[in-house]
Structure 1
Amino acid sequence: MYKTISREAFWLALKQEAKLVSAKEPMLASYLEACVQKHHNFETSLSFILSNKISDDVMPATTLSEMFNYAYSLNPEMVEAAVADAQAIVARDAAVSSYLTVIIHFKGFQALQVHRLAHHLWQSGRKELALFMQSRSSEVFCVDIHPAAKIGKGVMFDHATGIVIGETAVVENNVSILQDVTLGGTGSESGDRHPKVREGVMIGSGAKILGNIEIGRGCKIGAGSVVLKSVPPCMTVVGVPAKIVGQPNCDMPCDSMQQNVFEDKTRVTKA
């Protein structure tokens, strides 16, 4: 598990990274000044970036920025979660070496932060506005998360395109989800009908996890799998329908991001 840093230390590191990039690439200097350098803290910087990403002709960035800033003032844990998400991505993604890259460019990170606002609005009874945020996020980022879904911190959406998460889904802290993953229902039933993903899980690209089932702590879901039954903790599953084929080589597959299920511990035959 990587070592976390405080929000203040994160913000100082982010500003320093922006300064270095501005000096190295002058064409980005004014952009980074607007996104990072002119702000007095991380939350106002983040609200500026997100509001400009999802604004449109009828919902201006200034209005959206006010919404983000107000939500952050009421719920500082939303900002702490964003910091944890960014740190998780830098720690887990071999292609990333700076927080700035995550904040400015990674649509999985950005889509998750927009969801946090939508979830806050949903919990506050402002459901139509929450659904608007969901719709804009889906259009802009190709990530569709119902505002009622509960998502922890230290979560990474890698590449992110095509991720769908249903209304009653739960994703706990420290989970990694790759592109084209669905946490969905199995029909037209109402009520609690979506998966519960516990801490430490890694879900490979294209996996479909369907129904009110539980993916236990520390599990690995192989790419392209269709999971229709609950999975006990610390198991690797793969296939259509998914079957247990072994156990991850570490307690937190979300951190190792090891995709090859054949490198896991001794395979078992029991489904």
Structure 2
Amino acid sequence: MCSNSYTFLHSFMKTKKISTLTSVFHHHHHHQSHKYLRSSPHFHASSNPQKPQIHPPTHHTKPTISTHNPTPHLLKSIKHAKSNTFDQIQHTPISKLHTKPHTNDHTNNGHDVWLIMKDEARSDADQEPILSNYYHTSILSHPTIESALSHHLSIKLCDLSLPSASLRDLFMGVLTGDQEIVKSLKNDLEAVKERDPACLSYVHCFLHFKGFLACQAHRVAHKLWLENRKILALLIQNRVSEVFALDIHPGAKIGSGLLLDHATGVVIGETAVIGDNVSILHNVTLGGTGKSGGDRHPKVGNGVLIGAGTCVLGNVKIGEGAKIGAGSVVVKDVPARTTAVGNPAKLIGGKLDSIPSHTMDHTSHIDFYDYVV
């Protein structure tokens, strides 16, 4: 092969377009072959690869002999170029390998929480390689958010007599059979991310926020409760109480977009009803007032904020968009868009002009008075 041809091909191989180069050697009749060989006028593929072909010289060149097979030097260069290309792919950070969304994915607010979570997990694994296996097992190896949640909850709630595989199958069966639960869990993720400044990412919430995890386990238990599988539902309630330190009866009805901030010590009774987009802090009790049965627990409207340490007792109604101050004891109905504070709770301030559960504002519209330290 002439020096000019070799120089051109060696330079071309550095671009690592191996597939195009291969087509030059093995598909010389293709249009692309002539395109790239145009700058090397003396390299012509023989129509008969078994016999070398001699081309007549031009006025400024010497005769050259070419064959179809590349020289050993070219093969060595191709092998080296391929190796470099594969090495580059293997060392590409995980966060750069994004997943393309599918047309049938469920979306919230115009974007898919699950796909964002997977990208966050890749990024975290790049930053902290020690977490790579944990993130792969918990999130990246799963095709859907239902699968990931089923696996994660089963690991959290299993014990020696309750295998994780059995719990995983149970959770997966419920989640895949009820897409309303899946929609609610995505809304819960959104709620935590938007309202809790301590939440770094969707992945952070999904893996580590026990209020979120307890709520999702309750959604499964509530579904079982409605299907009259009450013994199994109560088992999940018990494991959630032992593991996450909060107690939600499987009979309680909980809306979408719930934030259980910190969540430790939260108690929610059997006939309690919680609306959509509610924020509840730690050590809150939605309880009864005695041992009588029936409808005996609070009804909390949409957009309500309940401060830490609050007790709401009896079948009372907390109106939509109301705010309950920390440490309050509520035993009477609270009108919509009002603020109740104290023990027993009293209404203070005027009507609220924003949704308290979204703003997470515990102090506005409260008239402070002189007090003794």
Compute the TM-score of the two structures, normalised by the length of structure 2: 0.68
**Corresponding letter in the other structure for 1:236:** T
Quickly say closer, same or farther: Cα 1:142–1:85, change in 2 above 3 A. Answer: same
**Corresponding letter in the other structure for 2:328:** S
In structure 2, what is the equivalent of residue 124 of structure 1?
Answer: 227
Measure, in 1, the Cα distance between the counterparts of 2:108 and 2:338.
27
Instruction: Indicate the RMSD between aligned Cα atoms, in angstroms.
Output: 1.5
1:264 aligns with 2:365: yes
Measure, in 2, the Cα distance between the counterparts of 1:51 and 1:5.
29
The structure with the largest alpha-carbon Rg is 2
In structure 1, what is the equivalent of residue 347 of structure 2?
Answer: 244
**Corresponding letter in the other structure for 1:26:** P
Select the residue among 110, 116, 119 that pairs with 1:16. 119
In structure 1, what is the equivalent of residue 212 of structure 2?
Answer: 109
In structure 1, what is the equivalent of residue 97 of structure 2?
Answer: none
In structure 2, what is the equivalent of residue 5 of structure 1?
Answer: 109
1:62 aligns with 2:62: no
1:194 aligns with 2:297: yes
Structure 1 residues 125-204: aligned runs within 5 Å: 125-204=228-307
Measure, in 2, the Cα distance between the counterparts of 1:51 and 1:249.
42
In structure 1, what is the equivalent of residue 146 of structure 2?
Answer: 43
Structure 1 residues 70-89: aligned runs within 5 Å: 70-89=173-192
CA offsets 1:154-209 (integer angstroms, 9 cap, x no match)? 00000000000000000011000000000000001110000000000000000000
Kept in 2: contact 1:86–1:99 (CA 8 A): yes
**Post-superposition shift, 1:25?**
0.4
| Misfit runs of 4+, over 4 Å | none
Gaps of 5+ in 1: none
* Residue aligned with 2:112, SS: helix
**Corresponding letter in the other structure for 1:137:** V
Measure, in 2, the Cα distance between the counterparts of 1:110 and 1:62.
18
Gaps of 5+ in 2: 1-106, 369-373
**Post-superposition shift, 1:97?**
3.0
**Corresponding letter in the other structure for 1:170:** V
**Corresponding letter in the other structure for 2:196:** D
Q: Percent identity, aligned pairs only?
A: 47
Kept in 1: contact 2:108–2:186 (CA 8 A): no
Compute the TM-score of the two structures, normalised by the length of structure 1: 0.94
**Corresponding letter in the other structure for 1:177:** I
More off after superposition, 168-177 vs 91-100: 91-100
Measure, in 1, the Cα distance between the counterparts of 2:254 and 2:230.
18
**Post-superposition shift, 1:76?**
0.9
Kept in 2: contact 1:248–1:265 (CA 8 A): no
**Post-superposition shift, 1:72?**
1.0
**Corresponding letter in the other structure for 1:192:** D
**Post-superposition shift, 1:252?**
1.1
Measure, in 1, the Cα distance between the counterparts of 2:232 and 2:190.
29
Measure, in 1, the Cα distance between the counterparts of 2:202 and 2:300.
26
**Corresponding letter in the other structure for 1:142:** A
Kept in 1: contact 2:195–2:358 (CA 8 A): yes
**Post-superposition shift, 1:4?**
4.2
**Corresponding letter in the other structure for 1:124:** E
Kept in 1: contact 2:268–2:286 (CA 8 A): yes
Measure, in 2, the Cα distance between the counterparts of 1:176 and 1:241.
21
**Post-superposition shift, 1:250?**
3.7
Kept in 2: contact 1:247–1:266 (CA 8 A): no
